[in-house]
Chains A and B, each alone.
Chain A
Amino acid sequence: MNFNYQLRFSKTGRARFISHLDTLSCLVRALRRTGFELAFSQGMRPKPILSLAMPLGVGVEGEDEICDFSLQQRAPLQELAKRLSRELPQGMELKSVGPTFDRSKSAARVESCGYRIHLAGPLEVESEIGAERESTPEESLIPTLEDAIDGYNQAAEIVILRKRPKGDKEVDIKRYVDSVRLLEDGGITFDMEVTAEGTARPEEIVMALSQFAGVQLTPVRIVRTGIKIKEEEQARAPRYGGRPRGGRRPR
């Protein structure tokens, strides 16, 4: 029998440059080093059961990422957390770990994710204010951003052209990101819906804002602040016989 766990971690600073696949192997190895045995998939080439709710692009930071994994035995949580936190590369930090009784993977139930982006404008905008030493270049962008965000939020649809090797595609990003909010420090934040048909990309939101602003905005730092997972209906539904996957609920 397997015991299912959910791990929440952050991946910030230099660790943002670790790719999705490498993040997976870092987590697998870290878990192996804790001494608790990972459960393996069935089949010709058994693989450790471990998945991430949503891949994070190279260079994007994640403040609250979700990883599902299964162990062969129940692990004392405090001990698991203690050992695991020692085994992650610099910049990847364990936030919490605990059992989960959901029947499906988090990856299948991502509803939306939050982003925070810090932007830089074109050089001219920065240097204008640079002389005063009062506000940072980021703050100097605020008036420009306010207008752009107004434009974005009021638009009914925003169609952008997504470049793909198979042929470019038009996407209405407004479907996924309804509104953008300005932060006090000049950063922006928004929630991005993830649907069965797809989602937007943070860079595309910046692209749209650049169009509204009339100047080229460049993301300096992209942070995914969290991932919202849809609660499982089955888990709450009444159940006859059997136990939820993952064993007994803790008392």
Chain B
Amino acid sequence: MTETLEKSIESLLERVEKPARYIGGEVGSVVKREFSLRVVLSYPDVYEIGTANQAVQIIYSLINHHSDAWAERAYCPWPDMSAAMREAGVPLFALESWEPVARADLWGFTLQHELTYTNILEMLDLAGVPLHADERGEGDPLVFAGGPSASNPHPVARFFDFLIIGDGEVTVPEVLKVCEEARITGDDSNDDGGEAGAGTKLTISRRELLERLSRLEGIYVPALSKQVRRAVMPELDYDLIPVRQVIPSMAAVHDRATVEIMRGCTRGCRFCMAGNWYRPVRERPVEDVCRAVAEMVEATGYEEASLSSLSTTDYSGIKEALTSLAQSQPRLTVSLPSLRVDPEAIRLLGLTSQRRGSLTLAPEAGSQRLRDAINKQVTRDEIEDAVAEAFGCGCTTVKLYFMIGLPTETEDDIKGIIEIATAARRVGRQFAASPGRVQINVSISSFVPKAHTPFQWDGMNTREELAAKQSYLRREMPRKQIKLSLHDLDPSLVEGAIARGGDGTAAAIEAAWRAGAGFDAWSERFVYSAWEQGFAAIGSTIEAEATRSFAVDAELPWDDIDSRVDKDFLLDEKEKAERGEATPDCRWGECADCGVCEGAIEMRIVNE
């Protein structure tokens, strides 16, 4: 039976684009002969995107190297493959075993952003697992999800048996334990409650198992949970760094070793979901960072290492870490994502051996007033100094990221974007080795309000407002040496329509998927009309959902998710935003009293 499936898969691979997406067998992938539970982990996009995702690598390594369970992977087959699979009756299979995903005990998805949601339905459907949790039976896997977008689980709650709220590193081992206790494996019967047989069997009902899971901290069971508190890992544990990781056999979006140097961010930008959700800041000791980079590079053979975090140059050990890495790994290219707009930070790049042609800075808003309102504490001078430093260091291109549609935004703020771009060009021409080659790329995206942030009550701008702002920029932005790119409004509006949705949104996502939506993050595959049909199916529109604002005293759909940040703090921040008042960074300034620090959960800074 397995052999026939294998044969059928192979014959499909002869015909599809990039068949290496589906073969598994990568160096670092794990095959277990004996295991307590079979888990499949999924990033709901195509292999080369999904395989670069750190969340899957972390949980994969945690399960395979620190538990008796076996984790496999499955990514969303590209449309040519899913069509071929449907035609041939081949179900979604896991990469390691080529066995149907539907036979796993647990199947987990990472929710990184809303535009991957339709791929989850595509994968469930391909696997032959019922889309709705309440339609699944005893033989079906428990389907779960985690990741940043699980912070508002409601729009997808219907599709999952449970969701992990917060750091999976603390929750997943607990989940495995509860599931292991509820199952018995063929021969290894340390439980006398049930009959022994081939494979694993539940000794209790699915419902009872979910009840037990719902008692864990950070586990949200849509069918049962009333109030769930985010689980937090107090310290970044060295042993949980995925040093031995899967090295894809085909080129992925990022082929590099990634070491998370810090979780959380103290900046307190009011628009930022991750900055509000992953509190408090937990830095990894410098020696751990350097050791992890060395081990990971050795174990993977990558030529590049990325020190990842939400604001890498805020990491208090950054200078030390970069200096030490430059000494111990002279050949290695170290990349620093998410640079703060700060000349000091850019000078740090001199410590990395990377020769770069371009640098990305994110002032986010055009005017000081609006930057104060969103608490992006960067001054005009700092922006100009940073640009000067970048061009002075040999960059020829500086990319500037801004958002439009932020709360309290006026025409002056949009004008400010043009002023900054023009100033950057001027400074660039002044400091660059060849002024004629200076290039400023201005990238404009539309602000999407997210749950658990101070802007969670605010609606998104209407399409008309955003379009007017875009055409103003298109009209007024100077063209010489400045390249303006405007993000499409359609996907942003859809993201906005889902992000603050409730349980009812699930039906819209499902209807959109049935109308042909899928791979929505891929601009060439995004089908707006499918989403229009989707939201029409729940008697609403994309824009009505995206622009909805909530009264501050209204009950929010995600109120049952306790992020550990006080709602009053968020409300305070919202009001301060309206007054254009900043809140100091709690790393240096006084505590803003967001409510997250408690007991062992506190800010951990390595160099005070």
Determine if A18 and B20 form an interchain contact, defined as CB atoms under 8 angstroms apart: yes
Q: Number of residues in B with C-beta < 8 Å to the partner?
A: 24
B27 touching A88 by the CB < 8 A rule? yes
Chain B hits for A21, CB < 8 A:
251
Interface string of A65-94 (1 = CB under 8 A from B): 000000000000000000000011111000
Q: In the complex, what residues of B have CB within 8 A of residue A14's CB? A: 10, 13, 23-25
Cβ of A9 to closest chain B Cβ, rounded Å: 14
Cβ-defined contact, B251 with A25, below 8 A: yes
The B10-45 residues at the A interface (CB cut-off 8 A) are 10, 13-14, 18-20, 22-27, 29
Name A35's closest neighbour in chain B (CB-CB).
B298
Residues on A with C-beta less than 8 A from B18 are 19
Check if B250 sits within 8 Å of A33, measured CB to CB.
no
Residues of A within 8 A of B323 (CB): none
Chain B proximity mask over A204-232: 1 for CB below 8 Å, otherwise 0: 00000000000000000000000000000
Q: Other CB < 8 Å A-B pairs besides A33-B27, A33-B298, 19 of them? A: A14-B25, A15-B25, A17-B19, A19-B18, A19-B20, A22-B20, A22-B250, A22-B251, A25-B251, A25-B255, A26-B249, A31-B301, A33-B301, A35-B298, A58-B19, A58-B20, A87-B27, A89-B25, A90-B25
A225 to chain B, nearest CB (A): 20
Q: Which residues of A contact B255 (CB under 8 A)?
A: 25
Residues of A within 8 A of B10 (CB): 14
- Cα–Cα, bound, A112→B272 (Å): 61
Q: Is the CB of B301 within 8 A of A89?
A: no
User: Counting CB contacts under 8 A, is A162 at the interface?
Assistant: no
Query: Which residues of B are in contact with A by a Cβ distance under 8 Å?
Result: 10, 13-14, 18-20, 22-27, 29, 247, 249-251, 255, 298-303
The answer to whether B13 and A89 have CB atoms under 8 Å apart is: no
A58 to B15 CA separation, bound complex (whole angstroms): 10
Which residue of B22, B26, B251 is within 8 Å of A89 (Cβ)? B26
Decide if A30 touches B27 in the complex (CB within 8 Å).
Answer: yes
Within 8 A of B (CB), among A73-125: 87-91
Q: Could you tell me the distance in whole angstroms from the C-beta of A205 to the nearest C-beta in chain B?
A: 18
> How many A-B pairs with Cβ below 8 Å?
64
Residues of B within 8 A of A17 (CB): 13, 19-20, 22-23
CB-contact partner of A29 in B13, B19, B24, B302, under 8 A: B302
A residues engaging B (CB < 8 A)? Answer: 14-15, 17-19, 21-22, 25-26, 28-33, 35, 58-59, 87-91
Which residues of the partner chain B approach A25 to less than 8 Å between Cβ atoms?
251, 255
Closest 10 CB pairs of A and B: A90-B25, A29-B301, A32-B301, A17-B19, A14-B23, A33-B301, A22-B250, A89-B249, A17-B20, A18-B20
- Are A59 and B20 touching (Cβ within 8 A)? no
Contact B19 A89 (CB under 8 A): no
A contact residues around B247 at 8 Å (CB): 29
CA distance A202 to B299 in the complex (A): 38
Task: List residues of chain B with CB within 8 A of the CB of A89.
Answer: 25-27, 249
Task: Check if A59 sits within 8 Å of B19, measured CB to CB.
Answer: yes
CA distance A15 to B19 in the complex (A): 10
User: How far apart are the CA atoms of A25 and B302 in the complex, in Å?
Assistant: 10
Bound-complex Cα distance A25 to B20 (A) = 13
Looking at the assembled complex, report how far the CB atom of B98 sits from the nearest CB atom of chain A, in whole angstroms: 9
9 A–B contact pairs at CB < 8 A?
A: A14-B23, A14-B24, A15-B25, A18-B23, A19-B18, A21-B251, A22-B250, A29-B300, A32-B303
* Distance in angstroms between the alpha carbons of A26 and B303 in the assembled complex: 13
CA distance A88 to B25 in the complex (A): 9
Q: How far is the CA of A30 from the CA of B20 in the complex (A)?
A: 17
Q: How far is the CA of A31 from the CA of B255 in the complex (A)?
A: 16
What B residues does A32 contact at CB under 8 A? 301, 303
Closest Cβ neighbor of B22 among chain A residues? A17
Q: How far is the CA of A26 from the CA of B246 in the complex (A)?
A: 12
Contact assessment for B298 and A91 in the assembled complex, using a CB-CB cutoff below 8 Å:
no
Q: How far is the CA of A155 from the CA of B227 in the complex (A)?
A: 81
Q: With both chains docked as a complex, state the minimum distance between the C-beta of A54 and any C-beta of chain B, in angstroms.
A: 19
Please report the C-alpha to C-alpha distance between residue A63 and residue B249 in the assembled complex, in whole angstroms: 19
Please indicate the chain A residues that have their CB under 8 angstroms from the CB of B23 in the complex: 14-15, 17-18, 91
Complexed CA–CA distance, A135 and B23 (Å): 31
A91 to B98, CA, bound (A): 15
**Complex Cα–Cα for A90 and B13 (A):** 16
Q: How far is the CA of A22 from the CA of B24 in the complex (A)?
A: 14
List residues of chain B with CB within 8 A of the CB of A26: 27, 249
**Residue numbers in B under 8 Å from A31 (CB-CB):** 301
Taking CB atoms, residues of chain B closer than 8 Å to A28 are 301
Residues of chain A lying within 8 A (CB to CB) of residue B22: 17
Q: Which residue of chain A has its CB nearest to the CB of B19?
A: A17
Q: How far is the CB of A204 from chain B (nearest CB, A)?
A: 17
Known: A18-B249, A32-B301. A90 touches B24 (CB 8 A): yes
Residue ID in chain A nearest B299 by CB atoms: A33
Closest to A31 in B: B301
CB–CB B250/A19 < 8 A: yes
Assuming A17-B20, A17-B23, A90-B24, is B298 touching A59 (CB within 8 A)? no
CA distance A223 to B298 in the complex (A): 34
Contact status of A18 and B250, CB under 8 A, knowing A59-B14, A90-B25: yes
Please give, as numbers and ranges, the residues of chain B lying within 8 Å of A91 by CB-CB distance.
23, 25
Q: In the bound complex, what is the Cα–Cα distance between A58 and B20 (angstroms)?
A: 9
| CB contact between A22 and one of B249, B299, B301, B303 (< 8 Å): that residue | B249
Give the complex CA separation of A204 and B299 in angstroms.
42
**Closest residue to B96 on the A side, CB-wise?**
A90
Once bound together, how far apart are the Cα atoms of A232 and B46, in whole Å?
46
In Å, the complex CA distance between A90 and B20 comes to 12
| Smallest Cβ-Cβ distance to A48: which chain B residue | B303
Alpha-carbon gap, A15 to B26, bound state (A): 9
- Across the interface, name the chain A residue whose C-beta is closest to B95: A14
B587 to chain A, nearest CB (A): 38
Q: Is the CB of B300 within 8 A of A33?
A: yes
Task: Name the residue on B nearest A86 (C-beta).
Answer: B27
| Complex Cα–Cα for A87 and B26 (A) | 9
Cα separation A58 to B18 with both chains bound (whole Å):
9
Chain A residue with the shortest CB-CB distance to B31: A90
Closest chain B residue to A26, Cβ basis? B249
Report how far A77 CA is from B25 CA in the complex, Å: 26
Complex CA distance for A15 and B20, rounded to whole angstroms:
8
- CB neighbours (8 Å) of B27 from chain A are 26, 29-30, 33, 87-89
Chain A residue numbers with a CB within 8 Å of B13 are 14, 17, 59
Bound-state CA distance A29–B18 (Å) is 20
| Shortest Cβ distance from residue A36 to the other chain B in the assembled complex, whole angstroms | 12
Q: How far is the CA of A22 from the CA of B298 in the complex (A)?
A: 20
Cα A21 to Cα B20 in complex, Å, equals 12
Interchain nearest-CB distance for B179 vs A (Å): 28
Contact partners of B24 in chain A: CB under 8 A? 14, 90
